[in-house]
Amino acid sequence: MSPIREPTVVGIANFNAAEDAATLRGAMKGFGTDEQTIIDILTSRSNVQRQAISQAFTHEYGRDIIEDLKSELGGHFEDVIIALMLPPAEYLCRELNNCMEGLGTDEQVLVEILCTRTKPEIAEIVDTYERLYNRPLAEHMCSETSGDFRRLLTLIVTGARDEEAGVDGARAVEAAQQLYDAGEAKWGTDEEIFNKILAHESFAQLRLIFEEYKNISGRTIEQAIKAEIDGELKDALSAIVECVENAPAWFAQRLRASMQGAGTDDKVLVRVVATRAELDLGAVKREYERLYDKTLESDISGETSGDYKRALVALLGPA
């Protein structure tokens, strides 16, 4: 969502898919599994390279590498490796489906995946979801959410965001005034105005709107949202605002929350590390240290163990 690109995984030069496939086959064949080899290869290849390995594996051995990995690995270590082996949009669609299937919905996952991605990323997720599950994402989501939160997510999923309009100072002042009038300036809040502006405007335009908001109100838009809005809608709008201003810091906070308190939310930990590694995990690490005065690696190492820990730490790249 922010232009910061600071991947910790970029793939390797002189890549040879058939060679990697053979090494991985060797690591899984026979008695026992060579987990370290699996970690070394899969955490240092880009997703495009992993897809090539997957094809070479099927071509050479007539086997599905993901099925083989699942039969050899287990627990959260398996979760990391499978997250790496799936194409990114497909992995995110599986996560979206899991968070809505069965009893109850994990709205935080909907916020994390849908409110922090660009319009092209959302479009790919929408297409992939329908292909995988034979039903539109918007329809599934509408059956699991309600109210203004549902309306906001529907705008995002249906591609309402205008990425082509360019940045316009006069329009930014107008939108900032609308947000002020819809929230702080009146009794009660007009959530519809917040939804409309935060789901329609491009990120560059939103950045300008948020600056203008501060000029009008004397408070940041985050402060206004936290004071005026509650529940899932507050979380969703806050995620959009924070990702417009500093996406790596938002993901750093998400990681921190997954490791705070009793027990670890391993699903969040795996998903954020695996999906940001080729985007901005370097910046996320830096923001984590700035915010919490601890390295992300030290906190992950304290919360995880064994091959699971080794895989996550490998994705973090050098300190």
Helix 35-42 crosses helix 17-28 at what angle (to 10 degrees)?
A: 160
pLDDT at res. 3: 58
Residue-wise pLDDT for 7-40, tens only, equals: 999 999 999 999 999 999 999 987 789 999 999 9
User: Token digits for 13?
Assistant: 């030069």
Residue 87 host element (H or E): none
pLDDT at res. 92: 98
The Cα 38–Cα 23 span in angstroms is 9
Cβ–Cβ < 8 Å for 10, 24:
no
Low-confidence ranges of the chain (pLDDT < 50): 1-2
Q: Kindly give, in sequence order, each residue whose CB lies less than 8 Å from that of residue 240, ignoring residues fewer than 6 positions away.
A: 115, 116, 198, 199, 206
Residue-wise pLDDT for 97-108, tens only, equals: 999 998 889 999
pLDDT at res. 105: 94
| Geometric angle at alpha carbon 217, from 214 and 219, rounded to 5° | 60
pLDDT at res. 2: 47
DSSP designation for 162: B
